[in-house]
Chain A
Amino acid sequence: MDWQDHGTILSSRPHGETSAIVEVFTAWHGRHLGVVRGGASRKLAAVLQPGSHVALSWRARLEDHLGAITLEPLKSRAGVLSDRRALLGLNSVCALASFTLAEREPHAALYAATEPLFDVIGAAHPGWEVDYLHWEMMLLDELGFGLDLSRCAVTGSREDLAFVSPKTGRAVSREGAGDWAPRLLPLPPALLGQGPITAMELVQGLALTGYFLENRIAPELGQRPLPAARARLIDMLSR
């Protein structure tokens, strides 16, 4: 069994004295693990950093084996190391992808959105935080818990959408919410394309996606807590 693909390193950990087990989010093979021989070497240390874009070749005798990966660097995102905020963003994307995505299950659309996100974070491009929020919404969508913000779940109206139902993930208008409003999650107007997003709306948006990650996705994954990297990013953005 063998294949070639390209992807981004999510994590790497030592395996024996000379090798490493790397976790890569690939374009066509999803989140995939494999052994990199010589992965503990200084030569490969920079390539195996989370966020590095690589071309990889996977080979194993049987499909369900862990297999060996050989890789070549395509793009380094080491520029992020000196930027505290961007580094937290990169950590959060890698940790969430690793936490939520099933192994070897392709997510081509999500991958196509993730690579540009890594690029804007890697370049510490202003406004990458908004792209990150949209990426979390897409992640929820890929995992089957997408938010439906198109119309009110109660009245069917497209006007004055202000809340999201924590049960269904559907938008609710002020009129439709009525007395239930305190039990609903606030919907930042910027998520509906109504003007530029403010710092407060960004945090509200992340609280919204966080609710579904924590209460819908995490229970499906054995009640593990969400990665601390995400909490650290939100803590930074909240200040």
Chain B
Amino acid sequence: MSAGDEIEALIALMARLPGLGPRSARRAVLHLIRKRGALMAPLAAAMAHVAETVRECARCGNIATGDICEICTDPKRATGELCVVEDVADLWAMERGQAFKGRYHVLGGTLSALDAVGPEELGIPRLVARVRDEGLGEVILALNATVEGQTTAHYIAEALEGTGVSITSLAQGVPIGGELDYLDDGTIQAALRARKAF
């Protein structure tokens, strides 16, 4: 049954969001309409505001509503450590963990031979310049444990040679709650190589 052109258009737009299909989008729109005062209007206003102000941080590539993001402007985070991540989603994941108190650099992707993504597209020269300019003590390569992620990590490590900065990467191995029986061969190999004194 049609709900009118405007509402159908809204449902079609919602259905394009990750995790939503046409049926769930319809349910979501119906819920918004029922709560239009308490939810729909503030949501629309918030979306309009963010759409107008959101941009990429000129320093780190994070998303922000100003030219420089909050992490880059926070003086407490000037620890001399820079964490290189592939994507903003990875930055958010690191922030959820609350284990890292330094600053970030978001690449926006990984080197990919098949998709013709090279160092220039990822702004690696910009990263090297940043490391030199800010006089950092350590660069942590927090890239995915995939072939493309690690190819990019090795490339960055090579590009940073000569800057004098200490380069580290996240450990690879058994995840919290992981059972050896269910781990793939590669993870077990990596975990064994990275074993430490107990």
* Chain A residues at the B interface, C-beta cutoff of 8 Å: 11, 17, 45-47, 49-51, 73, 75-82, 84, 87-88, 90-92, 94-95, 98, 227-230, 232
Q: Can you list 30 A-B contacts (CB < 8 A)? A: A17-B19, A46-B184, A46-B187, A49-B146, A49-B147, A49-B186, A73-B184, A75-B185, A76-B186, A76-B189, A78-B145, A78-B184, A78-B185, A78-B187, A79-B186, A79-B190, A81-B190, A82-B150, A82-B190, A84-B157, A87-B147, A87-B151, A91-B113, A91-B147, A92-B113, A98-B114, A227-B113, A228-B111, A228-B113, A228-B118
Contacts of A91 in B (CB 8 A): 113, 147, 151
Query: What secondary structure prevails in chain A residues at the interface with B?
Result: helix
Within 8 A of A (CB), among B65-122: 111, 113-114, 116, 118
Contact flag A78-B151 (CB < 8 Å), given A46-B184, A91-B113, A229-B113: no
Contacts of B186 in A (CB 8 A): 46, 49, 76-79, 81
Query: Do A84 and B154 touch (CB < 8 A)?
Result: yes
Tell me if B193 is interfacial: C-beta within 8 Å of chain A. Answer: yes
CA distance A84 to B146 in the complex (A): 13
What are the interface flags for B143-164 relative to A under an 8 Å C-beta threshold, 1 for contact and 0 otherwise?
0011100110011011000000
CB of A78 to closest CB in B, whole Å? 2
Query: Do B185 and A87 touch (CB < 8 A)?
Result: no
Most chain B CB within 10 A, of A11, A50, A82, A227, is at A82
Tell me if B18 is interfacial: C-beta within 8 Å of chain A. Answer: yes
Query: Do A87 and B154 touch (CB < 8 A)?
Result: yes
Query: What secondary structure prevails in chain B residues at the interface with A?
Result: helix
Query: Do A87 and B150 touch (CB < 8 A)?
Result: yes
Which 7 residue pairs across A and B have the least CB separation, nearest first?
A: A78-B186, A229-B113, A76-B186, A76-B185, A95-B113, A84-B154, A46-B184
CB of B111 to closest CB in A, whole Å? 8
Contacts of A87 in B (CB 8 A): 147, 150-151, 154
CA distance A92 to B189 in the complex (A): 23
Query: Do A11 and B151 touch (CB < 8 A)?
Result: no
Query: Do A11 and B114 touch (CB < 8 A)?
Result: yes
Q: Which single member of A82, A84, A95, A228 contacts B158 (CB below 8 Å)? A: A84
* Chain B residues at the A interface, C-beta cutoff of 8 Å: 18-19, 111, 113-114, 116, 118, 145-147, 150-151, 154-155, 157-158, 172, 184-187, 189-190, 193
Contacts of A49 in B (CB 8 A): 146-147, 186
CA distance A133 to B113 in the complex (A): 19
CB of B167 to closest CB in A, whole Å? 12
Chain B residue, CB-CB nearest to A51: B147
CA distance A82 to B158 in the complex (A): 14
CA distance A21 to B187 in the complex (A): 23
CB of B91 to closest CB in A, whole Å? 20
Contacts of B18 in A (CB 8 A): 17
CA distance A73 to B184 in the complex (A): 9
Contacts of B157 in A (CB 8 A): 84
Contact flag A81-B158 (CB < 8 Å), given A73-B184, A73-B185: no
Contacts of A45 in B (CB 8 A): 146
Query: Do A227 and B190 touch (CB < 8 A)?
Result: no
CB of B2 to closest CB in A, whole Å? 26
Contacts of A75 in B (CB 8 A): 185
Contacts of B19 in A (CB 8 A): 17
Query: Do A81 and B150 touch (CB < 8 A)?
Result: yes
